[in-house]
Amino acid sequence: MISEERRARLNERQFFGRRKGPALSPRQQDVMVRGYARYGIDLPEKSSAASASGASGPGDQGAVALDLSALFPAGIKSFGLEIGFGKGEHLAHQARTRPVMGFIGCEPFLNGMAACLDVLLRENITNVRVYMDDARAMIDALPDAGLDIVYLLHPDPWHKKRHAKRRFVNPDNLDALARVLKPGGELRIVTDDPVYRQWTAIRMTERTDFHWMAEKPADWRTPPADWIDTRYALKAGREGRLDCFFRYQKL
Q: What angle do CA 141, 147, 151 make, to 5 degrees?
A: 95
CB neighbours (10 Å) of residue 1?
15
Q: What pLDDT is stored for residue 20 in this prediction? A: 61
Q: Has 226 been annotated as catalytic?
A: no
Q: State pTM to two decimals.
A: 0.86
CB neighbours (10 Å) of residue 45?
16
Tallying the residues shown for the chain, one arrives at 251
Q: CA-based Rg of the chain, rounded to a whole angstrom? A: 18
Question: Which residues lie closer than 8 Å to 102 by C-beta, 6 or more apart?
Answer: 68, 71, 72, 76, 78, 79, 80, 127, 128, 129
Cα–Cα nearest to 68, from 147, 177, 186: 147
The pLDDT confidence band at residue 45, using thresholds 50, 70 and 90, is: low
**How does pLDDT run across 130-150, given as a tens digit for each residue?**
999 999 999 999 999 999 999
The pLDDT confidence band at residue 235, using thresholds 50, 70 and 90, is: confident
Which DSSP letter does residue 222 get?
S
Q: Say yes or no to pLDDT of 2 above 80.
A: no
Q: Say yes or no to pLDDT of 54 above 50.
A: no
Distances from the Cα of 245 to the Cαs of 141, 196, 201, in angstroms?
27, 12, 11
Q: Say yes or no to pLDDT of 14 above 60.
A: no
Q: In the predicted model, what is the mean pLDDT of residues 101-125? A: 97
The pLDDT confidence band at residue 57, using thresholds 50, 70 and 90, is: low
Cα–Cα nearest to 85, from 219, 10, 12, 190: 190
Average pLDDT value over all residues in the chain: 87
Q: Say yes or no to pLDDT of 8 above 90.
A: no
The pLDDT confidence band at residue 7, using thresholds 50, 70 and 90, is: low
**How does pLDDT run across 149-192, given as a tens digit for each residue?**
999 999 998 777 776 888 999 999 999 999 999 999 999 999 99
Comparing 10 with 147, the larger pLDDT belongs to: 147
Instruction: State which of 36-50, 54-68, 235-249 shows the largest mean pLDDT.
Output: 235-249
Catalytic residue among 60, 133, 156, 229: 156
Residue % of the chain over a pLDDT of 90 = 70
